């Protein structure tokens, strides 16, 4: 069996190509880099490097999984988001580049506040939204909620890695439910990238490996938005904003659903592909638990 970087990469690329992996060279290289604990640049500059036998056997296990559309990020355990590296596991959605549009909208709002602010991240998953905001805004504190205990453990690990754990509170439950027990907290900003695929819709083969509760939401994909719209006003300051990610073609439906629940759409932002991805909303009713 081949044992230097050049030959191993060639065989790996051919294997992935035969299984119709979209970016065989890219994936072969990133996986080898992760297995060997070497930078991609090092592997490219030193194709003569020896690949140790134990790395080789892990590498071929990973390649076989990758050839069956298992996400690369679950193999390497990492995903870049807003310039930082996040730990990911099969318990969490892999952070997507389009979610950076949502983070930017949050940052633009937070910079208008000239005081220490608080943010609530609903459906935090890996924690990528809340933790990016904490890293970018030094006087911010955050509360992050998720129904998944395993996801919260990943978010906690990321909060330690990014030195933000002292400003992040993690709560298990649905949308804002854990905040409704015995407290009257008000956040300056609530943000969410909820699951938004309709239960009957088909998804890319890689997405089938991501947690169902992070991807699917009822018959029309709007189930968690509905819950957020009906419950979030009572934990938001009267001047607060709700910033939501929208799935492809969903922005209008979400805005309408929001309006029915007393939310006024202030802004809609496209992602880099020009898809309406982010809604900024303000609650126009009087703040209170019965809104
Ligand atoms: C689309 S993922 C987003 C994860 C992360 N915020 C991101 O942007 O990558 C949605 C997350 O919401 C969680 N979730 C699903 N339903 C929920 C609910 N009713 N309340 C709170 N979290 C929920 C899932 O477990 C998942 O972690």
Closest ligand 1 atom to residue 196 Cα is 1
104, part of any domain: yes
Domains of the chain: total: 2
- Considering the domain architecture, whether residues 64 and 136 belong to the same structural domain is answered as no
Distance 103 CA to ligand 1 centre (A): 15
Does 108 lie in the same domain as 58? no
Is residue 96 domain-shared with residue 64, that is, in the same domain?
no
What is the CA(25)–ligand 1 centre distance, in A?
Answer: 32
Confirm whether 288 is domain-assigned.
no
Query: Is pTM beyond 0.85 here?
Result: yes
Q: How far is the CA of 155 from the centre of ligand 1 (A)?
A: 12
> How far is residue 271's CA from residue 273's CA, in Å, rounded to a whole number?
5
Check whether residue 153 and residue 270 sit in a common domain: yes
Could you tell which of 194, 198, 211, 278 is best to mutate to test the pocket of ligand 1, judged by most ligand atoms within 8 Å of the CB? 194
Clarify whether residues 234 and 95 are in a common domain.
yes
Among residues 50, 63, 41, the alpha carbon closest in space to that of 7 is found at 50
Q: Is 79 within a domain?
A: no
Contacts 24+ apart (CB under 8 A), 50-58: 50/3, 50/4, 51/3, 51/4, 51/5, 51/8, 53/3, 56/1, 56/3, 56/8
**Quick one: which atom of ligand 1 is closest to the CA of 130?**
6
pLDDT value of residue 158: 98
Show which of 13, 33, 68 is a domain's final residue. 68
Euclidean distance between CA atoms 22 and 45, whole angstroms? 24
Protein residue with its CA nearest to atom 13 in ligand 1: 123
Q: For residue 74, is it within any domain?
A: no
Whether the predicted pLDDT of 177 surpasses 60:
yes
Q: Are residues 10 and 115 in the same domain?
A: no
Residue 77 lies in a domain: no
288 has a pLDDT exceeding 90: no
Closest C-alpha to ligand 1, atom 2: 214
Q: Which residue ranges have their beta carbon within 6 Å of ligand 1?
A: 92-93, 95, 99, 122-126, 128-129, 145-148, 151, 174-175, 193-195, 213-214, 224, 227
Per-residue three-class SS string for 214-283: HHECCCCCCHHHHHHHHHHHHHEEEEEEEEEECCCCCHHHHHHHHHHCCEEEEEEEECCCCCEEEEEEEE
Whether residues 105 and 157 share a domain: the answer is yes
Q: Does residue 78 belong to any structural domain of this protein?
A: no
For residue 8, the surrounding DSSP H or E stretch is helix 5-18
- 129 and 195 co-located in one domain: yes
Range of the domain at 258: 90-283
The owner of tokens 């318990």 is: 91
| pLDDT tier at 181, thresholds 50, 70, 90 | confident
Q: How far is the CA of 221 from the centre of ligand 1 (A)?
A: 13
Same domain, 28 and 149: no
Task: Mark whether 28 and 102 lie in a shared domain.
Answer: no
Question: How many angstroms is it from 194 CA to the middle of ligand 1?
Answer: 5
Q: Give me the CATH number covering residue 205.
A: 3.40.50.150
Residue nearest to atom 18 of ligand 1 (CA): 174
Average pLDDT, the chain: 95
Q: What residues contact 14, with CB distance under 8 A and at least 6 apart?
A: 24
Q: Is residue 40 located within the same domain as residue 115?
A: no
Query: Residue 1 — pLDDT band, cuts 50, 70, 90?
Result: low
In testing the pocket of ligand 1, which one of 86, 100, 123 has its CB within 8 Å of the most ligand atoms? Answer: 123
- Predicted pLDDT of residue 289: 41
Give the residue carrying structure tokens 């069956």.
Answer: 68
Q: Look at residue 103 and tell me if it is in a domain.
A: yes
- How much distance in Å is there from the Cα of 126 to the middle of ligand 1? 9
Ligand 1, residue 126: give the atom nearest the CA: 5
Confidence class for position 38, pLDDT limits 50, 70, 90: very high
Give the pair of three-digit tokens for residue 211: 């947690």
Sorting pLDDT into bands at 50, 70 and 90, what band is 60? very high
pLDDT at 287 over 80: no
Residue among 187, 81, 201 at smallest CA distance from 129? 81
**Cβ-contact 59, 51 below 8 angstroms:** yes
User: In a mutational test of the pocket of ligand 1, which residue from 81, 90, 93, 226 has the highest number of ligand atoms less than 8 Å from its CB?
Assistant: 93
Q: Does residue 197 belong to any structural domain of this protein?
A: yes
Same-domain pairing of 174 and 125: yes
Hey, what are 125's tokens? Answer: 């998953």
Nearest to 21 by CA among 71, 56, 58: 71
């Amino acid at each position: 069996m081949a044992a230097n970087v050049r030959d191993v990469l060639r065989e790996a690329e051919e294997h992935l190509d035969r299984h119709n992996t979209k970016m065989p060279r890219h994936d072969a290289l990133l996986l080898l880099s992760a297995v060997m604990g070497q930078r991609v640049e090092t592997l490219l500059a030193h194709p003569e490097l020896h690949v140790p036998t134990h790395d080789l056997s892990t590498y071929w296990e990973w390649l076989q999984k990758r050839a069956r559309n298992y996400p690369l990020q679950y193999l390497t355990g990492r995903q870049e988001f807003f310039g930082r590296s996040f730990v990911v596991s099969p318990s969490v959605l892999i952070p997507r580049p389009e979610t950076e549009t949502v983070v930017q909208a949050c940052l633009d709002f937070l910079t208008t506040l000239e005081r220490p602010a608080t943010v609530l991240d609903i459906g935090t998953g890996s924690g990528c939204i809340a933790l990016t905001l904490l890293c970018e805004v030094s006087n911010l504190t955050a509360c992050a909620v998720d129904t998944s205990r395993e996801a919260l453990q990943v978010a906690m690990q990321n909060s330690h890695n990014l030195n933000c754990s002292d400003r992040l509170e993690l709560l298990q439950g649905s949308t804002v439910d854990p905040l409704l027990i015995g407290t009257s907290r008000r956040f300056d900003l609530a943000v969410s990238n909820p699951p938004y695929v309709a239960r009957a819709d088909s998804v890319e083969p890689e997405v089938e490996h991501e947690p169902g509760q992070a991807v699917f939401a009822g018959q029309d994909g709007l189930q968690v938005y509905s819950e957020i719209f009906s419950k979030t006003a009572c934990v938001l300051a009267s001047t607060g904003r709700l910033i939501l990610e929208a799935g492809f073609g969903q922005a209008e439906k979400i805005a309408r659903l929001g309006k029915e629940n007393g939310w006024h759409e202030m802004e809609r932002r496209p992602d880099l592909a020009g898809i309406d991805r982010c809604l900024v909303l303000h609650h126009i009713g009087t703040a209170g638990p019965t809104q």
